[in-house]
């Protein structure tokens, strides 16, 4: 995702990075050529004029806009749910770290304290990599170097976030058995682990359950058929202005479809996906601060800064 401040209204008219214009540029060029062809042939195909007019496209356009609105709403619901899940993960991670440090889970052992905090951070990074199907090796080795945990478990652990959660629960149980953590404290910390487990499962549900394929195919075909026929319905009414209006209308419909496709996969590495790198880094920074450790640099926010 591209992280940056809100640009000036005039500059926003010309924003390239982060918009879907780059994605649909080939379609825009195709529509320009097709609209120009419709003007040059006076709306004829193989010598026969298509009996189309603007009223037909007005009715179809309204119906298509409503259909696209429903699709975008469904896609944004997935995007916003993903953001709420990772917001809940941030809250639960902070709460677990604070409770673990204050309730005696780590005792006075600095190494044990560091391991507990780093395991929570590693869990967030492991979940990010699992959702994006990328390798977590670099982050795991960076956060848990003493155990070389990733190398030891790479061949057997398929769900690394769940593994880290289980290791955290084992640390809580050990602290309880050794008398450092009361039963009430154990129950309180375990509630945060259950919340983290819910976030893991909810993220997996979104990532493994895309919008039904047939639904996307129907919308895709409808948009393209409408856009390709549009110049032939406008040529008699507006003449040489047909390419301009056709491309503008096509841009609206094609861009809406492209945006819906992007945000329906909120964990993907796309310009409009969730900034999981930034959220993971925020979890790391806030937990390290609780533990009194040095903080890595904050996520930059500036001109076209690509975070993910």
Q: pLDDT tens-digit profile of 88-102?
A: 999 999 999 999 998
- Determine the pLDDT at residue 107: 74
Number of domains in the chain: 1
Task: Please state, in angstroms and rounded to a whole number, the distance separating the CA atoms of residues 27 and 138.
Answer: 39
* Contact (CB, 8 A) for 4 and 275: no
More confident: 219 or 154 = 219
Residue 290, pLDDT score: 92
What's the pLDDT at 298? 82
Instruction: State pLDDT tens for residues 117-136.
Output: 999 999 999 999 999 999 88
Q: Vertex 197, ends 140 and 190: CA angle to 5°?
A: 100
What's the rounded mean pLDDT across residues 239-261? Answer: 90
Question: What pTM value is reported for the model?
Answer: 0.86
CA-based max dimension of the chain: 90
The overall average pLDDT reported for the chain is 86
Three-class SS state of 49: strand
What does the pLDDT read at residue 149?
56
- pLDDT at residue 41 greater than cutoff 60: yes
The 3-class secondary structure across 187-250, one letter per residue, is HHHHHHHHHHHHHHHHHHHHHHCCCCHHHHHHHHHHHHHHHHHHHHHHHHHHHHHHHHHHHHHH
Cα distances from 218 to residues 57, 75, 180, 221, in angstroms, run: 18, 15, 60, 5
| Domain residue limits at 297 | 2-306
Q: Does 207 have pLDDT greater than 80?
A: yes
In the block, residue with structure tokens 């008398």: 179
| Chain center to CA of 124 | 15
SS3 content of the chain, % helix, strand, coil (to 5): 70, 5, 25
How many Å apart are CA 307 and CA 195, to the nearest integer?
27
Q: How far apart are CA 77 and CA 66, in angstroms?
A: 17
C-alpha to C-alpha distance for 180 and 48, rounded to whole angstroms: 87
Q: Which helix (H) or strand (E) holds 2?
A: strand 2-3
Whether 169 shows a pLDDT value over 70: the answer reads yes
């Amino acid at each position: 995702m591209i992280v940056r401040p809100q640009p000036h209204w005039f500059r926003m008219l010309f924003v390239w990075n982060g918009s879907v214009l780059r994605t649909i540029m080939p379609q825009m060029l195709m529509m320009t050529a097709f609209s120009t062809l419709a003007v040059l042939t006076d709306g004829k195909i193989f010598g026969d004029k298509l009996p189309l007019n603007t009223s037909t496209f007005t009715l179809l356009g309204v119906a298509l806009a409503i259909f696209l609105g429903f699709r975008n709403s469904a896609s944004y619901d997935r995007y916003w749910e993903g953001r709420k899940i990772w917001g809940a993960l941030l809250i639960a991670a902070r709460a677990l770290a604070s409770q673990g440090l204050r309730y005696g889970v780590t005792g006075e052992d600095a190494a044990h304290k560091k391991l507990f905090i780093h395991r929570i951070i590693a869990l967030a990074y492991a979940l990010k990599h699992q959702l994006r199907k990328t390798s977590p090796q670099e982050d795991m080795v960076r956060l848990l170097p003493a155990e070389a945990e990733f190398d030891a478990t790479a061949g057997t652990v398929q769900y690394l976030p769940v593994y880290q959660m289980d290791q955290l629960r084992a640390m809580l149980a050990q602290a309880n058995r050794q008398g450092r953590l009361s039963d009430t404290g154990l129950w309180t910390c375990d509630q945060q682990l259950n919340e983290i487990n819910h976030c893991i499962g909810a993220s997996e549900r979104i990532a493994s359950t895309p919008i039904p394929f047939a639904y996307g195919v129907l919308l895709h075909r409808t948009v393209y058929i409408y856009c390709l026929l549009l110049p032939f319905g406008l040529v008699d009414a507006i003449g040489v202005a047909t390419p301009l209006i056709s491309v503008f209308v096509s841009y609206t419909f094609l861009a809406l479809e492209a945006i819906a496709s992007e945000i329906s996969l909120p964990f993907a590495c796309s310009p409009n996906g969730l900034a999981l790198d930034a959220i993971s880094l925020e979890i790391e920074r806030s937990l390290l601060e609780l533990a009194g450790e040095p903080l890595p640099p904050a996520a930059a926010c500036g001109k076209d800064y690509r975070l993910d």
